[in-house]
Each structure stands twice: as structure tokens, then as C-alpha cells.
Amino acid sequence: MDRRTLLKAALALGLGGTAARLLAADNPAVSVDSLAALSGKLTVYLGHGEGGLYTDIVGAIRERNPALDLALRRAPSSALANTLVAEAGAGGPRADLFWSVDAASLAVVNGAGMGRRVPDDIRGQIRPEFRYDRWAALSGRIRSLPYNTARLSPSDLPDRIMDLPDSDLRVGWAPSYAAFQAFIAAMRLLEGEARTRRWLEAMKSKAQSYAGELGVVLATARGEVDVGLANHYYTLRLKSGDPDASVALGFTRDDAGCLVNAAGTALLSDRALPADFTRYLLTREVQTFLAEQAYEIPLVTGVAPPAGLPSMDTIQPPELDLARLSELKPALALLRDTGVL
């Protein structure tokens, strides 16, 4: 049974694939069976969506809700955020819902005053540390240092991302990727513009660029580079298909190198349908699918984290309000000024 069929069955039956492994919680995730059917016209701008996994979710929701007339526009999250800002300046956004793979793009849209307040019942389903007034966090992702296990051990990795240029490690990165750009935005906020500029200038001569972060992880496993800069799930996905791949997850501590970012939705109209669609994305079935197939971190209580992810108690992310990632333009300017982009 392929992943799309699996999800369709889960949504049709109201059963999650890991129901027996749900974590204990006071308010566990709700089943899709508890939700009303969706109907009417809905336009969703979707920031690509992890190799088609998000469109699998959209397809399953469509099949469960035949009265839903859903129009989907797909593009990189950052590009769609810019489109929405431009549309707002020209009379109003043409989408009812923006579903982005990273908080930076959502913060840009909300910074332009487009996001509506998230209903209390939706906010109440999300883990407290990821509750925001103007967007609903759906799934988490951690910045990581995937490393080649044939060349390195965890002790060979720097504890701080700012120390990486001083190492003799060959590094892979994907500067054109939205998650990397959000990482640089976080670094600028945490470390300051001058230190971030120096870091980029020092890294430029020793880093190999790739089109995306899956490419970074594959290159690390092949030994083209010693270590990469990528979201955690690319390593977990590779290891799930190839357990013997020479790559493992590493993390820095308390800095942008282990930032916990989030995918989520911004409600762009006051109609009930965008909020109702978001409620489907927070169900046990969809959250379990995201954890098991996308290896993303579920942000509702009662759904098990992805296999292979170290306990969150062992990871020390920085304290940073993800809403501040709206300051993306200065980070992009730094990337261009240093010649990284």
C-alpha cells in the first residue's frame, strides 16, 4: 500500500496508522470523524510541500469531501509570500489560505497585515510553545548537521554553529532553499548582522552548494562533504529507505544551527472554510501521516514523533519567537552581498 492509499484509508476510516503508539496527553489529537464535512470554494496557496507529501494530504481531503471546490496553487513558500504581499497591495490576496513549509514566509505575510486571528479552539490543539495569534503551526522541523559516519563521530562536530568556519570540515549547503534562508535570518537575529556576515564570508570558500537539502544529505552520505546544513527530516527519510547510509543527525546547541522552525497556515479571509480546512490538518490522521511519512514533528498532543528523531529533551534549540523571522529581507541582502546567493 503506497503512502497516498494509506492516508486515504486513514481519513476514510478515521483511524491513524499509529493509534496504538499515541503518547499520553490530557487533550489528545482529535480524529477526522469528529469534524464536519467541508463544502464550498477554497483557494489554497501551498509552499511546495515536501516532495508531494502535502499534495497527498490535499488529495485525501478532497476525496473525503466531494462538495469541497478546492483550487491549489503551488510554488516555493517565499515566492508565494511575495505574491500575496503584492496581491494585498493591488486590492487583496487571491487566496483564502496560505500553507507554508516555514514560519519565515508566514511571518512575512502576517507582517503585511494579512493573517486573521486563529480561532481559540485551533490554537488550543497546538502545543503551547507553538501557539501564535495569526498563524497555526502544523508540524516542526529542526535545523541539523547531518554528518558522514564513515569520516566523523559526534565529537568531531562543533557545539556552536559559529565555530563551523574554524573547523577543517567540508560542508554542504543549499543557500537558495527557503529553510536555509530562514536559518540565516535566525542567525542574524541571534548573533547580529556583523557576525553573520563574517560567518557567511568564511563559509563561502569551504562550502559546496546544492539545489536542495535532500541533495545536501545525499552528498554527505556519499562522502562528497563531511557535514551538511539541513532540516532533520531529510536524514531520517534517507535512513528509512537505506538504513546503511553513512549519515547521521548531529546538532549544535542553543543557536540558529538547531533552530526549531514550523510549517503552518495563515487564514487570509474571515470565512469559516479556511479555518475548517486547518482543523483537518491538525487531526490525528494527518499529523500521524506527517510524522510517519514526512518525518516532521507533530505539534498536537498525543501523536508519536517520527522514528529516529532523538528525544527533544536532548536538543537545545535557541529561544526565538518565530514571528521575528519576518525580517527575511535583511538576511537575503546579506546572502547576496556576500555572494552566497
- What is the rounded distance in angstroms from the CA atom of residue 324 to the CA atom of residue 265? 16
Contacts of 110 (CB under 8 A, 6+ apart): 134, 135, 266, 323, 326
Q: What average pLDDT does the chain have?
A: 89
Task: Look up cell 487531526; give the residue.
Answer: 283
Other CB atoms within 10 Å distance of the CB of residue 240: 16
* pLDDT average, residue stretch 88-116: 91
Q: Look at residue 11 in the predicted model and tell me its pLDDT.
A: 52
pLDDT in tens, 148-185: 999 999 999 999 999 999 999 999 999 998 889 999 99
- The larger pLDDT score, comparing residue 70 to residue 15, is at 70
Polymer length in residues for the chain: 341
Is there a contact between 43 and 73 (Cβ–Cβ < 8 Å)? Answer: yes
Q: Look at residue 309 in the predicted model and tell me its pLDDT.
A: 92
Q: Look at residue 76 in the predicted model and tell me its pLDDT.
A: 87
Backbone angles phi, psi at 72, to 5 degrees: -120, 130
Q: Look at residue 228 in the predicted model and tell me its pLDDT.
A: 98
Q: Is the pLDDT of residue 26 over 80?
A: no
* pLDDT average, residue stretch 238-267: 96
Q: Look at residue 18 in the predicted model and tell me its pLDDT.
A: 30
Q: Is the pLDDT of residue 58 over 50?
A: yes
Which string of b and e fits 35-56 if b means at least 16 CB within 10 Å?
beebeeebbbbbbbbbeebbbb
Q: Is the pLDDT of residue 222 over 90?
A: yes
Q: Look at residue 50 in the predicted model and tell me its pLDDT.
A: 58
Please give the single-letter amino acid code of residue 106: L
What domains, with CATH codes, occur in the chain? 3-140+260-309 (3.40.190.10), 142-259+315-337 (3.40.190.10)
pTM above 0.75, yes or no: yes
Cell of 291: 510524522
